[in-house]
Amino acid sequence: RRHPQNQVHREIIYALRSLPWISVPTVALFFAEVRGYSKLYDNIEDSPYGWLGVFVSMLSFLFFTDMGIYWIHRALHHKLLYKRFHKPHHLWKIATPFASHAFHPVDGFMQSLPYHIYPFLFPLHKITYLGLYIFVNVWTISIHDGDYRVPRLLQHVINGSAHHTDHHLYFDYNYGQYFTLWDKIGGSYKSPTAFEGKGPHDYLRKLREK
């Protein structure tokens, strides 16, 4: 069996309990962003950089938030924070897509902070922001879905499901969100076992044998 009994049910229940609490401060930040306190803008003409600015902002948003999430995620693994806030997400050794939002509310909100900080620091088109927000949620689901396929040339650049599964299994590796850049800078990068022909299920099988 791939997952423990009732795991999907437990992931769904945990996510449903947490999401309303995560949404309260998230909605407050959204109001501040759209009410003019951020650098969000409505029309392409409102930006001196035009369409080029939209394209550049998409890339910079991904790199900025990847950096922020890396350090926040790594901080949540500190012994003073881990047991109280981040451990619930690590209950799932081989996660399913339903675990993607099964966080303690504080954990979930902290890891979303870079998404909200960005438009207060840098110009960003409102529709682009909405699209990026949808993208990051889909990406979060995808790195928990157990599909380890990544184009060979990007296997050690993109932080995919294989990388994140090993994070759940081995704990101190692959904290990144989209890219492996900050894990390599921070010395926490681990080549996924799935790419080395071993696979996370072999790890679980050995644990059961012990």
Q: What is the pLDDT of residue 1?
A: 44
pLDDT of 203 > 80? The answer is no
pLDDT of 204 > 90? The answer is no
pLDDT of 180 > 80? The answer is yes
Sequence-distant (6+) residues with CB within 8 A of 59 are none
Cα dihedral 207, 184, 130, 36, rounded to 10, equals 130
Q: What is the pLDDT of residues 82-141, one digit of tens each?
A: 999 999 999 988 889 999 999 999 999 999 999 999 999 999 999 999 999 999 999 999
Query: What is the mean predicted confidence (pLDDT) over 5-15?
Result: 89
At residue 201 the predicted structure's pLDDT band, cuts being 50, 70 and 90, is low
Query: What is the mean predicted confidence (pLDDT) over 182-205?
Result: 83
Lowest mean pLDDT: which of 66-75, 115-124, 147-156, 157-166?
Answer: 147-156
Nearest Cα to 94, choosing from 185, 191, 3?
3
What is the full DSSP assignment across 66-118? Answer: HHHHHHHHHHHTSHHHIIIIIGGGGG-SS--GGGGG---HHHHHHHHHHHHHH
Query: What is the mean predicted confidence (pLDDT) over 149-165?
Result: 93
Task: Determine the Cα–Cα distance for residues 121 and 123; give it in Å rounded to an integer.
Answer: 7
At residue 6 the predicted structure's pLDDT band, cuts being 50, 70 and 90, is confident
Q: What is the pLDDT of residue 94?
A: 85
Q: Of residues 48 and 37, which shows the higher confidence score?
A: 37
